[in-house]
Amino acid sequence: MELTNLTLKAALDGLAAKRFSSEELTRAYLAAIDAANPSLNAYVVTSHDKALEMAKASDARRAQGEAGPLEGAPIGVKDLFATKGVRTTACSKILGEFIPPYESSVTANLWREGAVMLGKLNLDEFAMGSSNETSAFGPVVNPWRAQGSDKKLTPGGSSGGSAAAVAADLCLAATGTDTGGSIRQPAAFTGTVGIKPTYGRCSRWGIVAFASSLDQAGPIAKTVEDAAILLRAMSGHDQKDSTSLNIKVPDFASHIGQSVKGLRIGVPKEYRLDGIPAEIAKLWDEGVAWLKAAGCDVREVSLPHTKYALPAYYIIAPAEASSNLARYDGMRFGLRAEGANLTEVYENSRAAGFGAEVQRRIMIGAYVLSAGYYDAYYLRAQKVRRRIADDFDTAFQEVDAILTPTAPSAAFGIGERVSDPVSMYLNDVFTVTTNLAGLPGLSLPAGLDSQGLPLGLQLIGRPLDEGTLFSLASVMEQAAGFSARPQKWWE
């Protein structure tokens, strides 16, 4: 038995049956990380000592009969979650060697349930990017390669390290965050499952803030069931986040395998973009066929403001970011550059600490919020956001869930799109709408393109209706029979 090939569910079962210990499992993952990371660059911190310490403590708890729901499961953590005593940088130079004296609420939930932290996973700087190329620690390499090619592909972003680590068997599952598609697009690029839950499901406390009205944590995992297991553990009310919802967390995994007969599924006509690859359109049609075969009633719906979602996002997200990132001033933590006076110290610290894309977004944000432009840009974008949310409200009067592609392409090459910000932004064209509306969105691997690269389909649900998405996704997962795995060329 290859321990690192297990799903989260199978590993939890194996641990419960004492077929192997958490320490054995953790050691297997640490060895896999040591072998792969020089090639993939998925982890920016690997904490061998801490991981083994947590694994041994987990084994001791289990021996005492005190096993939690995730007892002994080795998990990777996106480096946007503050982890007490373990360097957390959002992959930005401006945080330097920041070591949080506190733990994010989401990761605290995982450790309370018995999970083991393997390390911190690479991401685009401050989660701003769709290819992991803006990371101060360099890009992550996608474990997948096109057939017959050794060209390095991006794993998508911003949760590129999380997605690559799950796809390459470098953790059982990983945490991610999603502001415009940062869980779902990398999941699609790496043949993994990712879900951004309803805004407010997961506490944002201790997650480095990007755009607070859009940021939401969620899991990236190998199977739909694994994603359901990890999402339940990550979710829950938290007094320290005023937007965290004070509602009961459902047992999402109980929705796996439930009948979807009679569910009404919407296919939004505005998502049939010109220039979308034929293979993606065809896969979307196959997804429709799978759901019809399972007894769903599939119909066309209209989301007329779809094309305005990305431009509205690129006002709202930078505006919120320019405000959130004002805290990086070189005074209390992180990088401080010298200057002739206080203002120069601020300006030089921020110029030296922030990468080019982050600087661009902060400046866009400062511009759209500045006197004379606020109404024309920021206020208008918030009104367009309402239009987009209203479109979904209308659609959800007729249907129970919506099916779309996750991303407009398969994984692309490192360096291919960095020179054109807008073409990079278009990666999120199918995912960003749910962030604006606060809705849950799940991406699952549905097939391979002609080059052998994974493609994903996305299910969008009503607020708090992740359960229906898990039922639908498990039906589609069965129908797709997606079993392809990347070749382990780095071993």
Residues identified as active-site: 78, 158, 182
Single-letter residue type at 391: D
Of how many residues is the chain composed?
A: 491
Give 64 or 419: the residue with its C-beta nearer to another protein. Answer: 419
If one asks whether residue 60 binds another protein (CB under 8 A), the answer comes out as: no
Q: Which runs of consecutive H residues, i.e. helices, occur in 64-142?
A: 105-112
Question: Binders of another protein among 78-97, rule CB under 8 A?
Answer: 97
Site for another protein in 437-456 (CB under 8 A): 437-438
CB of 80 to another protein, least distance (A): 17
d(CA 427, CA 179): 13
DSSP 458: E
Quickly list H helices, 417-465.
Answer: 421-425, 432-437
Interface residues for another protein in 226-245 (CB under 8 A)? 239, 242-243, 245
Residue 186: alpha-carbon gap to chain centroid: 7
Comparison of 32 and 335: residue with beta carbon closer to another protein: 335
Structure token pair of residue 37: 């990371």
Minimum distance from CB of 377 to another protein (Å)? 7
Scanning residues 457 to 476, which ones bind another protein (CB under 8 A)?
463
Whole-angstrom distance, CA of residue 206 vs CA of residue 82: 5
Contact flags string 381-410 toward another protein, x per CB under 8 A: xxxxxxx-x---------------------
Pair of tokens at residue 356: 């080019």
Residue 20 or 333 with smaller CB distance to another protein: 333
Mark residues 338-377: x for contact with another protein by CB under 8 A, - for none: -x-xxxxxxxx-xx--x----xx-xxxxxx--x------x
CB of 45 closer than 8 Å to CB of 37: no
Region of 456 (left: φ > 0; alpha: ψ -120 to 50; beta: rest) is beta
The contact mask relative to another protein for 178-197 (x = CB under 8 A, - = no) is --------------------
Shortest distance in whole angstroms from residue 283 CB to another protein: 28
Tell which one of 210, 284, 314, 392 touches another protein (CB under 8 A). Answer: 314
Find out whether 102 and 77 touch, Cβ atoms under 8 Å: no
Closer to another protein by Cβ: residue 277 or 311:
311
198 binds another protein (CB under 8 A): yes
Instruction: For the segment 278-307, give every residue that binds another protein (CB under 8 A).
Output: 305, 307
Residues 6 or more apart whose CB falls under 8 angstroms from that of 165 comprise 33, 40, 42, 43, 76, 121, 171, 174
Q: How many residues of this chain interact with another protein, rule: CB under 8 A?
A: 71
Given candidates 435, 443, 458, 468, which one binds another protein under the rule CB under 8 A?
435
Q: Which of 214, 317, 429, 432 binds another protein (CB under 8 A)?
A: 214
**Binding of another protein by 113 (CB under 8 A):** no
Q: Which is nearer to another protein, 290 or 425 (CB)?
A: 425
Residue where the block lists tokens 């997962």: 477
Contact region with another protein (CB under 8 A), list: 175-183, 253-261, 436-444, 478-486: 436-444
Question: Which residues from 318-337 bind another protein, rule CB under 8 A?
Answer: 322, 326, 329-336
Rounded to a whole number of angstroms, the minimum distance from the CB of residue 385 to another protein is 4
Nearest in space to 486 (alpha carbons), one of 43, 155, 37: 155
481: left (phi over 0), alpha (psi -120 to 50) or beta: left
Interatomic CA distance for residues 308 and 344, integer angstroms: 38
> Which CB sits closer to another protein, 118 or 384?
384
Give CA–CA dist 71/58, Å, rounded.
Answer: 6
> Do 392 and 355 form a contact (C-beta atoms < 8 A)?
no
